[in-house]
Amino acid sequence: MGLFDRHAGLLEAYRDVRTTGYDPFQIRMERVLSPTKAIINGRETLLVGTNNYFGLTFDPSCMEAAIEAIRAEGTGTTGSRIANGSYSEHVALEKEIAEFYGKKHCMVFTTGYQANLGVIATLAGQGDFLLIDADSHASIYDACKMTQAEVVRFKHNDPTSLEARLRRLGDKPGNRVVVLEGIYSMLGDSAPLREFVDVCKKYGAYVLIDEAHSLGALGEHGRGLCEKAGVLDDCHFIVGTFSKTLGAIGGYCVSDDPDFDILRVTVRSYMFTASLPPSIVASVRQALRVVKARPELRTQLWDNVATLYDGLKAQGFTLGPEHGPVVGVHLPDRMTAIGFWRAMLDAGIYVNVAVPPATPNGVSLLRCSLCAVHTKEQLDHMVEVMTGIGRQFGVLPDKQLRAAGAR
Ligand SMILES: Cc1ncc(COP(=O)(O)O)c(C=O)c1O
């Protein structure tokens, strides 16, 4: 048996994907020009698939902070937080994030993936129950593989399904830890958080929420869905990432739990990896200041969401269930999605293609993510281009048929 034989299904799917001539999973940004533009395949391309929600990757103040930090403290820490990798700036960043949420404690990780992986797998141990939404991110599923707890899945965004699972556990001993996401990364839909929190309270379950896609985007101060739903105090652990709205890399977890710091010597994805370099810590600290100081970026982001979502909907595309900074466009099957994605790239627009097994319920999607600094003209143009390709691929009815249908 060959080493990769067990991946035979995936190998075949990957071969199919590459028949289009481009490999969507190895696209090279030859030069990134701004938060919304890059050179790809030699041409200037509009970026609508980068999770750069506030466009802060090119914010001059964040860039300057990073450059200054390199000059002051070098390029890397070369060690983990429990060895030589804990600098004053890491501690300052943790304090600032904790303050941002009004929580007592914060731990910063080298990626959001590692934050979820380590925290979730550590919080729920032997004899406990880890309850996760069926559409959870891969980092949450991977934490399930690492934990000693019993893993229980409930239906996506369905508090009734969660309640049924908790009820079924009865009075079995062990903690219940429920993991939710603020905005789901494929379809851009939000959790009905208040209802989930009510169920968790009723059954004495802990709540951990991953605000990876909702930091900045939701809540009066950009604290995420917890803030928007008015349940900041009821969420025991909030996890997030620096790789999206904050335009850098890294992850965090905040909590009021008095023993939270024990995670610093139990979470392996924190202990056994190098800490964030000074430049990243500095740019993230500045990005957080920008999020607080410029709420208009949130307004611009949601205006752009409305332009793209409503524009595509009006043309007849099938989209995710609600407005969100991620707009998932449903396509009938994997090969149509790949072909559509390639046609978009040829027309100068980059989005993500998401196909099974990486998608919920085996759907094939074009995954678009919006940026506060996209212009209305760019998004109107995108709707026009997608509509043309949609007709060409038979995903949308032909223009004449549509007109005839309207008569
Ligand atoms: C919901 C969710 N959680 C966690 C992560 C991991 O974040 P990071 O890029 O910081 O590893 C992602 C990234 O795609 C995500 O979508």
CATH code for position 183: 3.40.640.10
Q: Is residue 3 part of a domain?
A: no
Question: Domain check: are 323 and 213 in the same one?
Answer: no
Q: Please give the number of the atom of ligand 1 that sits closest to the Cα of 251.
A: 10
- Clarify whether residues 288 and 362 are in a common domain: no
Domain for residue 52, yes or no? no
Domain end point (choices 246, 261, 293):
293
What's the total number of domains in the chain?
2
Which amino acid is present at 182? G
188 CB within 6 A, ligand 1: no
Structure confidence at residue 11 (pLDDT): 86
Asked whether residue 1 is domain-assigned, the answer is no
| CA of 113 relative to ligand 1 center, distance in Å | 5
Question: CA 210, CA 180: separation in Å to the nearest integer?
Answer: 6
What is the atom index within ligand 1 of the atom nearest the CA of 139?
Answer: 4
- 387 Cα–ligand 1 center, Å: 30
* Sign of the dihedral defined by the CA atoms of residues 195, 199, 200, 202, in that order: positive
Cα of 212 from ligand 1 centre, angstroms: 6
Q: Are residues 26 and 171 in the same domain?
A: no
Among the candidates 243, 268, 293, a domain finishes at: 293
Does residue 116 have its Cβ closer than 6 Å to ligand 1?
A: yes
Q: Same structural domain for residues 37 and 138?
A: no
Q: Does 99 share its domain with 22?
A: no
Same domain, 309 and 273: no
Q: Indicate the pTM of the whole model.
A: 0.95
- 277 and 301 fall within a common domain: no
- Going from the Cα of 210 to the center of ligand 1, the distance in angstroms, rounded, reads 9
For residue 37, being part of any structural domain is answered with yes
Q: What pLDDT sits at residue 103? A: 98
What pLDDT is attached to residue 400? Answer: 58
- Domain membership flag for residue 339: yes
Q: Rounded CA gap, 329 and 283, in Å?
A: 33
For residues 177-209, one letter each, b for 16 or more C-beta atoms within 10 angstroms of the residue's C-beta and e for the rest, the string is bbbbbbbbbbbbbbbebebbbebbeeeebbbbb
How much is the pLDDT for 401? 58
Residues 275 and 309 in one domain: no
Together in a domain, 303 and 270: no
Q: Is 109 in the pocket of ligand 1 (CB under 6 A)?
A: no
Residue span of the structural domain in which 352 resides: 10-47+295-406
Looking at 260, 293, 326, the residue that finishes a domain is 293
Residue 283 lies in a domain: yes
**Is 167 domain-assigned?**
yes
Measured over the CA atoms of residue 232, residue 238, residue 242 and residue 247, the dihedral's sign is: negative
Do 398 and 341 share a domain, yes or no?
yes
Q: How many CA atoms lie within 13 A of 169 on its CB side?
A: 25
The residue whose CA is least distant from atom 8 of ligand 1 is 112
Say whether both 225 and 308 belong to one domain: no
CATH number at residue 352: 3.90.1150.10
Instruction: Give the tokens for residue 232.
Output: 């900041």
Q: Residue-wise pLDDT tens for the chain (407 aa)? A: 888 989 888 888 888 888 878 888 889 999 999 999 999 999 999 999 999 999 999 999 999 999 999 999 999 999 999 999 999 999 999 999 999 999 999 999 999 999 999 999 999 999 999 999 999 999 999 999 999 999 999 999 999 999 999 999 999 999 999 999 999 999 999 999 999 999 999 999 999 999 999 999 999 999 999 999 999 999 999 999 999 999 999 999 999 999 999 999 999 999 999 999 999 999 999 999 999 999 999 999 999 999 999 999 999 999 999 999 999 999 999 999 999 999 999 999 999 999 888 888 889 999 999 999 999 999 999 999 999 999 999 999 776 556 555 54
Residue 115 CB–ligand 1 contact under 6 Å: no
Residue 5 lies in a domain: no
- 283 shares its domain with 299: no
